Structure 1
Amino acid sequence: MSERHFVRATPRHIEVLEQGAEDADPASGAQFVYLGRQPILDRDGALNAYELLFRSGAHNYAEVSDDAQATAQVVARAIGGIGVAAVLGQHRGFVNIDRALLFNDIVHLMPPERFVLEILETVKFDAHLGRRLTELRRAGFQVALDDVSELSDELLAALPHADIVKIDFLQTERSALAKLASTVRGHGKTLIAEKVETREDFLLARDLGFDLFQGYFFARPQVLAAPRNRSPRPGLLRLLALLSRDAGITELEAELKQNPSVVVQLLRLVNSSAFGLGRNIASLREAIIATGTRQIARWAQLLLYADSGDLPWRADPLVQLAGTRSRFMELAAGCLRPFDDDFADAAFMTGIFSLVHVVLGSTPAAVLEKLGLAPQIREAIVTRGGALGTLLRIAEAAGEGADAALIAGGPDAPPGFAALTPEVLAELNLSAAAWFGAHIEEAA
């Protein structure tokens, strides 16, 4: 076992824990966030990129029970918790991503020129996924296929939608390697040999024309550690409330000034993203203008679900209910008005705030009056009025197993709500439940 080495990075206090990290004091885990990274090298042995890996503590191995949740943690920690500059330097980061997060708005928090979307081998390719990957590549992302080990029909169908293919040297039959590599290279894709553990495998991969290499033969993952930034729940809720009613920069600035930990992470977000400014941003006002309110909302939502506060989110049934309900309402709003992003955003916010009074031990009217929510959201929660109020009643019924379609097709429902048939509502319920797992912190 090698000795532990510490590398200090300024201005952010970062510790790089290499082999031997499992000897770290476990009692310190609650005060730090952790992230693994493994180098990806080119044919000359030069560093080309890193794969970013989930770590729940200083020990150098993953404890992943939920792929989407682990990815949310990696994104939150790389961008806000530690910072892209400290994690990646000038290189790119490969991030494992599952199907749920591929279709989630949170993916756009990652600057596409800095992050590669590494599609997990568990993701099944279909036409819907193909269209989404086309959208993401047009937005500037590169897509990598992970853990490829055979020349399958599914691989051939996915190749036109990918830029990079990672071939698993532990799982691939040596007799099949040459044809697999030749086929992938013939489609113009970058080839990465992953899980390379011996010099013989490295020489074989190089002879077969692989472009990049990753594995224990070159380097084991490092564990990065940085002090944990707690994001106070009330401050995040107030920030989301301001965003829900299109508050001005002055109001946003005043609220953020009361939440230093959120400000620190916001500045890291804007300084790590491609805003075309050619310089770092130091002032809060500049950060708000450069980031944009939609990006700030994405980030606040990610913090709300991926960064634990005073309570373990996974264990809190009210948070689970609010998170699932908000996503259900957002999806339903998208079905009803496919081209109205403002309506979908308002529906999400309505779901988020519909149970805040229970969490804070007050009444809906009292809590929402203090938060200053947009009138239509406040009306929906307090009186169940308007289109958002009807959506909320539908979401409540769906969550309780009642006949939500009866509300959607009832005489009091706004025009068009009958499109929310039992079949559509059942699908939305499943999608919302699956989504929530991507936004919660691991249980303490």
Structure 2
Amino acid sequence: MDIYVARQPIFDRRLRVYGYEILYRMKEDDQYCMRTGDAASLSVIKNTVLVIGAEKIAGGKKAFINFTRNLILDNTAYLLPKDLTVIEILEDVRIDDQVLSRCKEIKKKGYTLALDDFVLNGNRHNPLLNLVDIIKVDYRATTNAEREEIVRHFKDTSIRLLAEKTETIEEFKEAKKLGFSYFQGYFFSKPIVIARKDIPVSRINYLRILQELANEHIRIRKLREILETDPSLTYKLLKYINSSFFSLRYEVTSIGHALALLGESEIRKWAFLVILGKLSKGFPDELIKISLIRARLCEAIATKIGLSKRKTEFFLMGMISTIDAFIGRPLEEIVQELPVAKGLKDALLGKDNVYGMVYSLVLCYERGDWDRVNQWIRKLALNEEDIPKLYTEAIRNVNEIADFIN
């Protein structure tokens, strides 16, 4: 049974990741009736959360899992770790004595319960409101007046409100001001554009370092000289080369030796990684993690479609896909100044080429847009079963170097 699995971050009011909603769907040619479809969902849960592990797929944070009526009644919840799981009851679940009784049992066992796509109209006396810990409100499907009424209704209760599909910084600020506790959407990856004169000098310096990598062949001596003037970058380089990611049998202690071992391809990847890490100070950690997951997935897909010689370019495309948020300038301005291939720049600006096809596939998979995922898989002549494996491997890789990122 082949499955697509992705995750979407959920933030608290301080922009720390509280958890991830696990998005999933079966392969197109899997055919199940409704009851067996629930069994398929159970298989997804077992394979993503139990086999891969909640620590891997959600980084030790809460994993929000959608539950249908049948999954609630079939005791599926008890297969999942209660400390890392939020049982998200779908809005179309018919509430009767059976469901209510089982939800009470699940709650008593210590699980966190959430109610999906809540609207106040017709639900003021929903018996689940006495049990759930979190209520999710769709920001796209409700008006500001409706959201204000929901906040007032639950103001004096222990229920926490989650604003779902918050896609802009303005919506995040608005929801936060209203009193929402959690926020789900891609608002955090949107740039807050600032004047050129307001860009800190340190950030400009990092971009100048990237310019040194623009040459077809990196001048190792020149790069070493730059690194020797910055103790922080030197530390990052030596920590990286001596990390478990490379598993060397001996310790590397010099900049020259580290650069020689990495080689040009890995040096370019390392430079973008460490500089984005520097630029990300003051931004949610999740932003650079998403950059890295995109980078690893783009790189892996490039290898699958026979472009392994250009995989570093695909890696860099993923890395810089969020750089507009870090720099505070429109992406179309920034990419023109970066030392990357023209085709890569064109792809980030929405032009149609092989880079763009891979990038579109990665973005669609990240957001759980499964229909378009299938379209891009067919266009790139990929095997469907490869993408979920590459995605979870990318997450695993990012988890392994999380300490280095921070």
Task: Determine if the TM-score, normalized by the shorter chain, exceeds 0.5.
Answer: no
**TM-score using structure 2 length:** 0.43
**TM-score using structure 1 length:** 0.39
